[in-house]
């Protein structure tokens, strides 16, 4: 089948019964040994006339939007979109991001310099729809034609002419979920234009005005978190049961009997983890418990505020604000002196950076990252550490939310240099890192074709980078550790390593930072177990 | 004064006023949530992109920031466009040449204005130019500025026009207005070259024009210069309708967004602005939003979460 291709930005509004592009194995960037011949299945084709969810963009769908039944329904959808768009550009309705949005919409030179900075665009072999400026350009053309002052002829002369119809709306909604909002593209722009922000704002328009968002983020994410306290549905009682299990598990693994404080009032620190840790990576909160106990930290977990998670930061300012307020409320109720965010990148960005300007005199609680705190404990000498316990190849994956978006870059490196003799950097790293491909919610989104797309396209650059970092020790007989101090990144690495069978073929495993510290503690039994992940 | 002189004054007044309106509009936007991007030059650990969040108990320590580093980085950005150099060298070559044209023309006009002011204030009669080595050097610098500006601007316009026309990827993002801009700017720069080399190699007439303008006197110049001056006035009027305001709004994009990591500290001005913003009503229509209430209430009084189901994908 001939690969459909985009020659003009306006094509997004045309041929509603056809898939816009098809990503094939041939297009994707090559991989190093032992994956030179690894064949990725081509993206699904939607034949003309076939049921076409989301007016198919690339054969993948995270939204599965129902098609309007008639012209009236389509027109209503268009009006709803335009109403949301006006709000997005209004100082009253979008005070939260209006200035950055306007600066990015109005001053892009369309020089395309940002394209090569985008791991999704590059990994896909340069698919036009994944180009950072593509979705922004579609939005610009819609604004010019439908909200511009000069009329449609002027719009055609200045920005372009895109029909706003079901195909455009459905594809644009999907397209807002093909960007991980890692903002590497923004870093490349000399004018300060931020195409990642435009993807974020589009998501907001769809969610806040039209009620359209991936179920994993909204219904099963923020809505459930606000209703039950966690996005996983775990209630305080179940949480306390898990904590009790953790205490037993720590004793079994390490021979140490530890009492993990829960809902302790007036503690110095309220530690909040991503809920994923309690479901999939208990070893991470266990390692924190071991380290804090050994260092004599005055801390607590909360059964009411089980998770640091705030998916609102990816798609909806209202939900972001609500969850941030919930975090503050619980911390104030417990009377803790500070909130410390565990190894969860987006929670760092949500609570410490973005939501910082939602707090008032009544709701503000000082919040900080666990990473510098861990470094302080490691360098304090309060933990008896032996780097020889971590004598295997280790590299560090930099979560975008932690480095490029929160500026926490060196503490984790200083820890690894101190306790991992075979620590090596990926290239590029730090604030220039590549996203794992699971950013902005992708790690937890698993709808039609998306898991394959995440592994084959969004995470391809990261996996290639990991392979290149370990080329000299690539044999599966040598255990290698990718340290990912972020829950969502770990989720994506788990899926990537499963997809590419990285454990079996290359002996590559992943885990958090605290686990490496606990593993290096002399008076604790070796903590890391090399399980297939 | 001549019509061309009046048009020139009008064009300058217009461009300054239009830019001022645009910049004031961009500056008077409401406070936004933080959206910084590291590295941030004013931070102590700017070399590797570190922030104050790297320090435990950061809110208890005084922040040490360097605005000088911010300004130096900004100046570097204006002068070299380093990011383009890294990602797309051929585009950088055209763009840099084009911008050298703008910078030099701008400087040339500033120098023309300054030299006219000096001539008027030093009482040099009849438009005669000040004498001496310093004045000669100054005039040579002006000539080099003007000539380089015209030449670089013209060359840059051609290079960018060619790249946008010949590169199919760029063509997809180039609108008729962009082509018009490149062609129009090319005409303006070429008209400058034509008015300069064949008719006025030392740019004396150009300086006389400015001298008369400052004095409010009528002056007759070569037709070629008249054409260029008219085109240049049109160029000034056209500028605010292009994306050229980025020369100034870029400062806002960097200082107020990308590098704005000022914490929302107790008692700060930012906190007062946030308090005001939170009092605004919310008008978004999705079911989970609770339209009609204030931001503060929406965030703090939760709806029945089931209402939030809306139209999410499953």
Q: Measured between CB atoms, which of A65, A190, A352 is closest to B53?
A: A352
Q: Measured between CB atoms, which of B243, B270, B287 is closest to A211?
A: B287
What residue of B is the nearest CA neighbor of A89?
Answer: B29
Residue with tokens 């590419």: A500
Secondary structure percentages of chain A, helix, strand, coil, to 5: 50, 5, 45
Q: Measured between CB atoms, which of B54, B249, B302 is closest to A107?
A: B249
Distances (CA, A) of A280 to A275, A481, A494, B19, B116: 9, 17, 10, 55, 75
pLDDT band at B302 (very low <50, low <70, confident <90, very high): low
> What distance, in Å, lies between the first and last C-alpha atoms of chain A?
36
* Three-class SS of A61-92: CCCCCCCCCCHHHHHHHHHHHHHHHHHHCCCC
Query: SS3 for B104?
Result: helix
More confidently predicted of A322 and B1: A322
Round to whole Å and give the CA distance between A271 and A208: 31
pLDDT digits (tens, 9 = 90+) for B155-177: 999 999 999 999 999 999 999 99
A507 min Cα distance to partner chain B (Å)? 31
Total Cβ atoms within 10 A of residue A464: 18
Check whether the bond before B104 is cis (ω within 30° of 0). Answer: no
- Nearest alpha-carbon partner for A442 in A232, A279, A117, A221: A221
- Determine the length of chain B: 314
Residue B304: pLDDT over 50: no
B45 in contact with chain A, both atoms CB, cutoff 8 A: yes
* Three-class SS of A226-271: HHHCCCCCCCHHHHHHHHHHHHHHHHHHHCCCCCCCECCCCCCEEE
pTM to 2 decimals?
Answer: 0.93
User: What pLDDT does B118 receive?
Assistant: 82
Round to whole Å and give the CA distance between A516 and A420: 8
Tokens found for residue B2: 């001549």
Contact predicate A344/A280, CB 8 Å? no
A255 min Cα distance to partner chain B (Å)? 31
User: What pLDDT does A43 receive?
Assistant: 64
pLDDT band at B307 (very low <50, low <70, confident <90, very high): very low
Round to whole Å and give the CA distance between A458 and A178: 8
B309 contacts A219? CB cut-off 8 A: yes
Q: Domain boundaries in chain B?
A: 3-32+81-241, 279-309
Round to whole Å and give the CA distance between A237 and A240: 5
A93 min Cα distance to partner chain B (Å)? 6
* Cross-strand partners of A424: A395
pLDDT digits (tens, 9 = 90+) for B76-100: 999 988 888 888 889 999 999 999 9
Mean pLDDT along residues B34-50: 98
| Helical H segments across A351-429, by residue range | 370-380, 411-419
Calculate the dihedral angle through the C-alpha atoms of A323, A326, A328, A332, rounding to the nearest 10 degrees: -170
B52 contacts A97? CB cut-off 8 A: no
Round to whole Å and give the CA distance between A344 and A346: 6
User: What pLDDT does B130 receive?
Assistant: 65
Calculate ∠ Cα A35-A37-A42, nearest 5°. Answer: 105
Which value does ipTM take for this structure? Answer: 0.95
Q: Measured between CB atoms, which of B174, B278, B280 is closest to A92?
A: B280
- Nearest alpha-carbon partner for B258 in A352, A183, A181, A277: A183
Total Cβ atoms within 10 A of residue A337: 14
Mean pLDDT along residues B240-262: 93
Residue with tokens 């290239």: A427
Q: Tell me the angle at which helices B133-166 and B89-121 cross, rounded to the nearest 10 degrees.
A: 150
Q: Hey, CA dihedral for A197, A201, A206, A207, is it positive or negative? A: positive
CATH of segment(s) B3-32+81-241: 1.20.950.20
Mean pLDDT along residues B274-286: 91
User: What pLDDT does A401 receive?
Assistant: 98
pLDDT digits (tens, 9 = 90+) for B105-122: 999 999 888 888 887 777
User: What pLDDT does A228 receive?
Assistant: 85
A338 min Cα distance to partner chain B (Å)? 9
| Strand pairing class (A367-369; A480-483) | unpaired
B197 in contact with chain A, both atoms CB, cutoff 8 A: no
Q: What is the pLDDT along chain A (533 residues), one digit of tens a residue?
A: 344 456 789 999 998 888 888 888 889 999 999 999 988 776 665 554 454 555 688 989 999 899 899 999 999 999 999 999 999 999 999 999 999 999 999 999 999 999 999 999 999 999 999 999 999 999 999 999 999 887 778 888 888 789 999 999 999 999 999 999 999 999 999 999 999 999 999 999 999 999 999 999 999 999 999 988 888 888 899 999 999 999 999 999 888 899 999 999 999 999 999 989 999 999 999 999 999 999 999 999 999 888 999 999 999 999 999 999 999 999 999 999 999 999 999 999 999 999 999 999 889 999 999 999 999 999 999 999 999 999 999 999 999 999 999 999 999 999 999 999 999 999 999 999 999 999 999 999 998 889 999 999 999 999 999 999 999 999 999 999 999 999 999 999 999 999 999 999 999 999 999 999 999 999 888 889 887 54
- Nearest alpha-carbon partner for A196 in A122, A134, A143: A134
Contact predicate B214/B113, CB 8 Å? yes
DSSP A152-202: HHHHHHHT-----SHHHHHHHHHHTTS-----HHHHT-TT---HHHHHHHH
**Residues 160-189, chain B: which have Cβ within 8 Å of A?**
168-170, 172-178, 180
Mean pLDDT along residues B178-199: 94
Query: SS3 for A379?
Result: helix
Q: Measured between CB atoms, which of B55, B271, B287 is closest to A360?
A: B271
């Amino acid at each position: 089948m001939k690969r459909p291709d985009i020659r003009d930005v306006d094509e997004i509004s045309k041929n509603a019964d056809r898939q816009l592009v098809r990503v094939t194995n041939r297009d994707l960037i090559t991989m190093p040994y032992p994956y030179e011949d690894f064949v990725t299945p081509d993206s699904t084709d939607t034949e003309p006339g076939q049921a076409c969810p989301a007016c198919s963009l690339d054969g993948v769908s995270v939204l599965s939007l129902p098609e309007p039944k008639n012209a009236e329904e389509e027109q209503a959808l268009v009006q709803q979109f335009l109403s949301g768009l006006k709000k997005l550009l209004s100082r009253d309705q979008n005070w939260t991001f209006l200035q950055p949005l306007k600066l990015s919409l109005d001053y892009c030179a369309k020089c395309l310099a940002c394209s090569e900075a985008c791991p999704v665009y590059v990994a896909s072999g340069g698919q036009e729809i994944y180009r950072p400026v593509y979705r922004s350009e579609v939005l610009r053309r819609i604004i010019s034609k439908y909200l511009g002052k000069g009329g449609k002829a002027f719009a055609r002369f200045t920005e372009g002419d895109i029909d706003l119809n079901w195909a455009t709306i459905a594809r644009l909604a999907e397209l807002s979920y093909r960007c991980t909002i890692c903002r590497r593209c923004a870093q490349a722009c000399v004018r300060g234009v931020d195409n990642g922000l435009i993807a974020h704002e589009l998501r907001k328009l769809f969610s806040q005005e039209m009620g359209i968002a991936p179920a994993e983020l909204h219904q099963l994410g923020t809505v459930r978190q606000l209703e039950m306290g966690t996005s996983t549905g775990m209630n305080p009682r179940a949480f306390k049961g898990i904590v009790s299990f953790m205490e037993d598990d720590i004793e079994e693994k390490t021979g140490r009997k530890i009492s993990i404080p829960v809902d302790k009032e007036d503690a110095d620190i309220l530690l909040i983890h991503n809920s994923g840790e309690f479901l999939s990576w208990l070893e991470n909160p266990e390692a924190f418990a071991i380290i804090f106990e050994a260092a004599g930290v005055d801390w607590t977990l909360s059964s009411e505020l089980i998770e640091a998670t705030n998916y609102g930061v990816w798609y909806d300012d209202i939900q972001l604000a609500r969850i941030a307020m919930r975090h503050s409320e619980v911390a104030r109720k417990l009377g803790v002196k500070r909130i410390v965010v565990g190894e969860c990148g987006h929670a760092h960005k949500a609570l410490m950076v973005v939501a910082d300007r939602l707090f008032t005199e009544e709701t503000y609680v000082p919040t900080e990252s666990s990473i510098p705190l861990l470094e302080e404990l490691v360098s304090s000498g309060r933990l008896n550490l032996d780097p020889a316990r971590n004598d295997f190849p280790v590299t560090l994956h930099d979560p975008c939310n932690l480095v490029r978006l929160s500026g926490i870059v060196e503490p984790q490196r200083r820890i690894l240099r101190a306790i991992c003799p075979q620590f090596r950097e990926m290239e590029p790293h730090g604030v220039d890192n590549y996203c794992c491909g699971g950013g902005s919610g992708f790690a937890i989104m698993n709808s039609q074709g998306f898991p394959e797309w995440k592994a084959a396209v969004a995470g391809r650059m990261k996996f290639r980078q990991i392979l290149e970092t370990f080329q000299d020790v690539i044999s599966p007989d040598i255990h290698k550790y990718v340290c990912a101090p972020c829950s969502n990144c770990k989720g994506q690495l788990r899926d990537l390593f499963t997809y590419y069978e990285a454990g079996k073929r290359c002996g590559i495993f992943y885990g958090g930072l605290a686990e490496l510290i606990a593993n290096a503690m002399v008076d604790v039994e070796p903590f890391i177990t090399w399980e297939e992940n | 004064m001549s019509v061309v002189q009046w048009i020139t004054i009008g064009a300058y007044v217009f461009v300054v006023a239009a830019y001022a309106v645009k910049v004031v509009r961009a500056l008077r936007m409401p406070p936004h949530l933080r959206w910084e991007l590291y590295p941030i030059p004013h931070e102590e650990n700017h070399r590797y992109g570190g922030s104050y969040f790297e320090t435990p108990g950061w809110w208890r320590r005084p922040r040490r920031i360097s605005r000088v580093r911010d300004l130096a980085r900004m100046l570097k950005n204006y002068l070299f466009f380093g990011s383009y150099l890294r990602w797309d060298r051929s585009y950088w070559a055209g763009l840099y040449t084009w911008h050298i044209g703008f910078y030099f023309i701008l400087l040339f006009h500033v120098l023309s204005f300054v030299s006219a002011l000096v001539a008027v204030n030093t009482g040099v009669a009849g438009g005669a130019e000040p004498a001496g080595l310093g004045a000669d050097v100054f005039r040579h610098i002006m000539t080099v500025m003007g000539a380089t500006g015209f030449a670089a601007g013209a060359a840059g316009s051609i290079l960018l026009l060619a790249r946008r026309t010949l590169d199919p990827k760029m063509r997809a993002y180039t609108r008729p207005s962009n082509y018009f801009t490149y062609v129009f700017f090319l005409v303006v720069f070429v008209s400058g070259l034509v008015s300069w080399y064949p008719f006025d190699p030392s740019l004396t007439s150009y300086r006389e024009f400015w001298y008369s303008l400052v004095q409010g006197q009528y002056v007759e110049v070569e037709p070629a210069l008249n054409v260029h001056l008219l085109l240049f006035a049109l160029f000034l009027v056209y500028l605010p309708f292009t994306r050229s305001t980025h020369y100034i709004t870029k400062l806002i994009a960097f200082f107020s967004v990308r590098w704005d990591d000022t914490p929302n500290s107790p008692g700060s001005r930012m906190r007062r602005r946030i308090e005001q913003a939170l009092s605004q009503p919310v008008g978004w229509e999705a079911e989970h939003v609770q339209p009609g209430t204030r931001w503060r209430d929406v965030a703090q009084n939760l709806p029945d979460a089931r209402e939030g189901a809306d139209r999410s994908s499953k």
